[in-house]
Amino acid sequence: MWRRNFYMKKRILTAIMAAMVLLTGCGGQAKTQKKASNVSYMESVNGKLKANVPDDKYRTTYEIFVGSFYDSDGDGIGDLKGVEEKLDYIKDLGFNEIWLMPICPSPTYHKYDVSDYEAIDKDYGTMEDFESLVNACHKDGIKLITDLVLNHTSVEHPWFKQAKEYLKSLKDGEKPDAKKCPYVNYYNFTRDGSESGYAQLAGSMWYYEAQFWEGMPDLNLDNKVVRNEIKKITDFWLDKGVDGFRLDAVTSYYTGNEEKNIEFLKWLNDEVKAKKPDAYMVGECWTDLTTYARYYQSGIDSFFDFDFANNDGTIVKTVRGQTTANGFGEQMVTAQDEIAQNSDGKGIEAPFYTNHDMARSAGYYPGDDGSKVKFAEGLNLMMSGNAFVYYGEEIGMKGSGKDENKRGPMYWTSDSTAKGMTKGPKDMEVFDMKYDPEDKQAKSDSSILSYIKQAIKLRNAFPAIARGTVAVDENASGDDILVTTRTPSDSSIEPVAIVYNTSEKSANLKTSDLPDGFTKLSGVLTVGKERITEKDGTITLPKETIAIYTNAD
């Protein structure tokens, strides 16, 4: 009985397999079909898109806190070699620029107080490691920009230490002589202790300007000798191959004096571009749009789009429904226009959603299943200019409260002792992540990571997203639906229409409301598995959806 059953089963199985081969043509195709049924909706629309990225400054940039990213040598601290080891990950996501937070020697974990501007902090590796990273980036078509902290140095910087020793050696009433110690003019020293933002020089009658903290003495940027030092520093890094700089704290260069800040930035921009005309510079001007738009008068390529970022910015308000879809579009146009007016049309927006100073976005939406985290980053990545993403946001990492928590170990895997995992800043608090680690998300086509990858894929496939002039179709747009076009000035770049449903429910628009000619659905970002449908002249967009339409031919 047993043998007979066995042969019967075997015969039936053979017959079924033969039928499958007949039905599908060959066994291999049957396998492909099974796989296709698991492929997400986004991939079914976006799958065939190819990257088409002009070599210009309209990039997609990944911000890295090196110490928490990837540890190459097992000491628990992320390092430059670790960044190089993870270049494939960054490239695979579609980024074509990296911003490294400060890498120069510094007494603090964050390294925003520099004690030597022409070296690498030993925690992060060596200058050879840096040179190797630059080369590897360039081989992969990735630009590298570094943080340039010019408002202040560390109190450990030799300039400050020498000035301090000299001032302490003066007899009471003796005036400092810059010929004996030029460094007394590198900073803003005074005997008047009443000025705000000044700290006392321990063991002396002197005070020094330190707007942020007593460990960060402000440089005297009016001093030509200091400007020459800065020129030497930027030349040094440009010679190392960096593609530009992220400028820290530009409103603090001359605290409260916008005109002088802009004058200094203009000087800096001219010096850097005289040396490397295609260098890219982006400034941190943590103010409102009207103010940071004015800073574009300096000629600096970009200033971060703070109005759109953080847990109270335009992106979050749109995701929460506090700003309408149409309102989001109008704010993109306002930003574009104000920046163009202040830069003769040359300014490049620098949209971002969060950075190392802001709580991570996983905490912005209580009860969210990841949809809102995805959609918000989608809104960011569909904006014009050079769009920035802070490491870990692509997997919805958590981190809020003290700064250390916002700069935690990249969550590559759930095993914190696994190869490459960092320990994070010493004073970071212990907390659990809300979403899966990178290795798990990489295997899921419905993960936050997969969504971000699709978003950057669209950005790279349609250069008009970053480069086109944004126009809002007010008639077709409303509370939930936003209809925009992106028309590049370069006629070789194909214009696109971008349609958004910013609401928590599906929403409709008429097919006739699509901008003239833009009838072909060519790219989608959806937070769930529902599809965009079109029936009887009505297009239905699932909740929190972004759709790219192109010309039909």
Question: Quick one: 71 or 121, whose CB is closer to Ca ion?
Answer: 71
71 versus 209: smaller Cβ distance to Ca ion = 71
Helices (H), 247-298: 258-275, 289-295
Residue placing its CB nearer to Ca ion in the complex, 66 or 281: 66
Three-state secondary structure string covering 99-117: EECCCCCCCCCCCCCCCCC
Q: Which residue is nearest to Ca ion (CB)?
A: 79
71 vs 368, beta carbon nearer Ca ion: 71
Q: How far is CA 323 from CA 139, 186, 289, 338, 424, in A?
A: 42, 47, 17, 20, 36
Q: In the bound complex, what is the minimum distance in angstroms from residue 77's beta carbon to Ca ion?
A: 4
Interatomic CA distance for residues 83 and 422, integer angstroms: 12
How far apart are CB 158 and Ca ion at their closest, in Å? 26
Which is it for strands 538-541 and 507-510: parallel, antiparallel or unpaired? antiparallel
Report the C-alpha gap between 74 and 76 in whole angstroms. Answer: 5
User: By three-state DSSP, how is residue 297 classified?
Assistant: helix
Q: How far is the CB of 125 from Ca ion (least distance, A)?
A: 8
Q: Which tokens belong to 82?
A: 């670790």
284 is catalytic: yes
Q: Residue 215 CB, nearest distance to Ca ion (Å)?
A: 24
Contact 150/157 with Cβ under 8 angstroms? no
Q: How far is the CB of 74 from Ca ion (least distance, A)?
A: 7
Find the catalytic residue in 85, 284, 436, 544.
284
Pairwise CA distance, residues 287 & 304, whole Å: 10
Q: Active site residue: 248, 377, 473, 480, which one? A: 248
Q: Please, which residue, 80 or 358, has the CB nearer to Ca ion?
A: 80
Q: Given the rule CB under 5 A, which residues bind Ca ion?
A: 71, 73, 75, 77, 79
Minimum CB–partner distance for residue 73 and Ca ion (Å): 5
Say which residue the tokens 């990039």 belong to: 59
Contact between 496 and 485 under an 8 Å Cβ cutoff? The reply is yes
CA distance 323 to 311: 13
Q: What is the DSSP letter of 118?
A: T
248 part of the active site: yes
- What is the SS3 assignment for 238? helix
d(C-alpha 316, C-alpha 240), whole Å: 38
Task: Give the bridge partners for 390, in sequence order.
Answer: 63
Q: Which residues are known catalytic residues? A: 248, 284
